[in-house]
Structure 1
Amino acid sequence: MTTTDRFFCADAARIRGDSLAGTAPRGAVWVLIEYRGGWPSNGFDGLGLAPEVKALVWSAAHAVRARILLIRRTARPRPAGPGRWAVLHYERSGAYRQRWGTWTSDEDLVEIADALQSPGGLGQPPVVLVCVHGRHDICCAVRGRPVARVLGERWPNLVWECTHVGGDRFAANVVVLPDGVYYGRLDAASAVGVIEEHLAGRIQAEHLRGYTDLAPVQQVAVAALLERFGPAARHAYTVTDTVRDGDDWRVRVELHAPRPTAFDVTLRARRTGPYRLTCSGPVPSPAVVYAVTSVRPV
């Protein structure tokens, strides 16, 4: 098979016009492990760590529904010295907590289990992750690496390459943590502007996949308000009520500034036809998408 007839899920999604909004996976806790060697297709699960250490980290993360991602710096050559690890917590109060450590042997990673039981410190800068996990999906490497390179040049202390974050067809995918904000369909030209705006407290709808503390339908409702009223800070909107009636939904969202306002966003769910949603997915699968039918102040 040549590159001209090879299937690329991100190209297919663009041609279909797949919607980004509402596609961020749920999550509030993340474990990051710097790993400079080759990444297995299944990430952390495929690492050849000491079995007892690997089991402990996995069980501690599973207990709090934490996502484990492998990371590495974008710069070449890779930095020397101990690897780093982090446990990041998102709190709905707006507090972003982080705890960082280092490791040189497998046994050092046991500290992650302890860190998952503590909230971590405040006041540290955010982490910007770019999925470049080509062994999981080729689109993540082809589209992610140019984005990682340009963002790493702009913010070398914030940006890391990472393993699979979900939504291969939306590559290049960028996740800002512990904010829990997913962006998709970025390229080298758009990525710097999107992250620059995010770091300035202005989240835009154009490349937004969603906030990880919200359900998909809620993510779509917030994105609709950002699209209608313009960029806003991460916690400018709060979902206060969600009601379902069959395929129809009503999501009430409160805007806190410049003056308190509530909106009811109504949406209708539908299931798409079966598509190949990843480059390697052998069986086409449908996806659930939400169409906004109205936005009205309450």
Structure 2
Amino acid sequence: MTSLTPPCSDVAVEALPGTAKTGSTYVLFEWPGAWSRDVLDGGTFGEELTNKLKAHVERYNATLLLIRHSTREARQITDHHVYLVFADQGITEVLHVDGPEDVLDLDLSGVGKNGAKLRTTPLLLICTHGKRDTCCAVKGRPLVNELRRGDEVWETSHIKGHRFAPTMMLMPWAFSFGHMSREATSAMLDHAEDGLFFVPGNRGRGTLTPPEQTAEIAVAAELSHQGIKVGIDQLQVRIDANGNAPTATVTVKNRDTGDEYEVKLRQKDIEGVVDSCGKAPKTGKGWVVENITPGR
């Protein structure tokens, strides 16, 4: 039976801010072969190794993502890139290993534990995981092919939010972006190389909670509207404890000037969310900014 619902990424009923994938430690493993629907379901690496990989990354509260180049020529490899991302410190390390079993030997507790080299340029991971959701293949892969940025841009396995395809993550900060065009993606990478915050398409910084993500983007947008360039790590974000309350107050501090902004937010219901291709619309939730109050 043919689904009557449109592709999930064509249903734009949600605001992007506050929807980023959360997490701070990532293992990006180069795997040019086929990816199963869930790269840790046993279909990619077999059941025994998969169980060991799951246990290893869970021990460190880390996330394993598979990456690969877009061209057949670049997928002919003799060893595998591994990028270790520590987003709470804004650091990426790189090393090469012989195979996926070598991931089990990595100490993911922090920087400088594995003899890896420091990477000083950004990494952009664009989801092309078609077995997880069709939109990622249809919209993600052409974007990867259009970008010519050397080793900055990689295909990646599922990073959540395929309803925002083409969806991507910018490392080492773990920013998520959605509904990005080629022009916007190139501009975002240019900003990242210059150490600048990029607002369009920004879903949030993955080291923050959803209301914190929303508040940081709102203040960055306000400053940008004033013609002020915002550094990628210029804003310090602190939320008042709110538990599961549908409202939140977040303080965003400009580290350069000392200025503080109090951001009031509320959570609202969003009707008609299609979170994956073929699924029926449902009611979701999202954070919206009520007001921003400048202060010192």
The alignment status of 1:129 with 2:129, answered yes or no, reads no
**Seq. identity, %:** 24
Pick closer, same or farther for the CA change 1:111–1:280 going to 2, 3 Å.
Answer: same
2:259 to 261, 264, 273: 261
The alignment status of 1:289 with 2:289, answered yes or no, reads no
Aligned position for 2:218: 224
Aligned position for 1:273: 271
CA drift at 1:122:
3.2
The alignment status of 1:7 with 2:9, answered yes or no, reads no
Q: SS state of the match for residue 115, structure 1?
A: coil
Specify the code of the residue in structure 1 equivalent to 2:187: G
Q: SS state of the match for residue 211, structure 2?
A: helix
Specify the code of the residue in structure 2 equivalent to 1:263: Y
- Give the Cα–Cα distance (whole angstroms) in 2 for the partners of residues 211 and 117 of structure 1: 21
Aligned position for 1:215: 209
Specify the code of the residue in structure 2 equivalent to 1:134: G
Structure 1 residue runs of 5 or longer lacking an equivalent are none
- Give the Cα–Cα distance (whole angstroms) in 2 for the partners of residues 216 and 250 of structure 1: 12
Specify the code of the residue in structure 2 equivalent to 1:191: T
Q: Is this contact kept in 2: 1:10–1:170, CA < 8 A?
A: yes
CA drift at 1:118:
4.8
1:168 to 159, 162, 166: 162
Specify the code of the residue in structure 1 equivalent to 2:283: P
Aligned position for 2:183: 189
The alignment status of 1:45 with 2:44, answered yes or no, reads no
Specify the code of the residue in structure 2 equivalent to 1:199: E
Q: SS state of the match for residue 139, structure 2?
A: helix
CA drift at 1:177:
1.5
Q: Is this contact kept in 1: 2:29–2:83, CA < 8 A?
A: no
Q: SS state of the match for residue 297, structure 1?
A: strand
The one-character-per-residue Cα deviations of 1:186-243 (angstroms, maximum 9, x if unpaired) are 1223221122122211222221000011000000001101111115222101113324
Q: How does 1:57-206 map to 2 (within 5 A)?
A: 57-92=53-88, 94-104=89-99, 106=100, 109-120=101-112, 121-151=117-147, 153=148, 155-206=149-200
Q: SS state of the match for residue 216, structure 2?
A: helix
Q: Is this contact kept in 1: 2:122–2:192, CA < 8 A?
A: no
Q: Is this contact kept in 2: 1:99–1:115, CA < 8 A?
A: no
- Give the Cα–Cα distance (whole angstroms) in 2 for the partners of residues 135 and 260 of structure 1: 47
Q: SS state of the match for residue 157, structure 1?
A: helix
CA drift at 1:264:
0.3
CA drift at 1:87:
4.5
- Give the Cα–Cα distance (whole angstroms) in 2 for the partners of residues 273 and 229 of structure 1: 31
- Give the Cα–Cα distance (whole angstroms) in 1 for the partners of residues 238 and 36 of structure 2: 41
Higher RCO (C-alpha 8 Å, min separation 6): 2
**How large is the RMSD of aligned CA atoms in angstroms?**
2.3
CA drift at 1:270:
1.1
Q: Is this contact kept in 2: 1:148–1:161, CA < 8 A?
A: yes
Pick closer, same or farther for the CA change 1:97–1:194 going to 2, 3 Å.
Answer: closer
Q: Is this contact kept in 2: 1:202–1:233, CA < 8 A?
A: yes
Aligned position for 1:241: 239
Structure 2 residue runs of 5 or longer lacking an equivalent are none
The one-character-per-residue Cα deviations of 1:144-177 (angstroms, maximum 9, x if unpaired) are 11211122x1x12111101111101111112112
CA drift at 1:2:
7.6
82-91 vs 177-186, which deviates more? 82-91
- Give the Cα–Cα distance (whole angstroms) in 2 for the partners of residues 117 and 243 of structure 1: 27
Specify the code of the residue in structure 2 equivalent to 1:297: P
Q: Is this contact kept in 1: 2:168–2:178, CA < 8 A?
A: yes
Residues paired across the two proteins, number: 286
- Give the Cα–Cα distance (whole angstroms) in 2 for the partners of residues 123 and 156 of structure 1: 14
- Give the Cα–Cα distance (whole angstroms) in 2 for the partners of residues 243 and 111 of structure 1: 37
Specify the code of the residue in structure 1 equivalent to 2:163: R
Pick closer, same or farther for the CA change 1:48–1:58 going to 2, 3 Å.
Answer: same
Specify the code of the residue in structure 1 equivalent to 2:129: H
Q: Is this contact kept in 2: 1:87–1:115, CA < 8 A?
A: no
Q: SS state of the match for residue 160, structure 1?
A: strand
Specify the code of the residue in structure 2 equivalent to 1:276: V
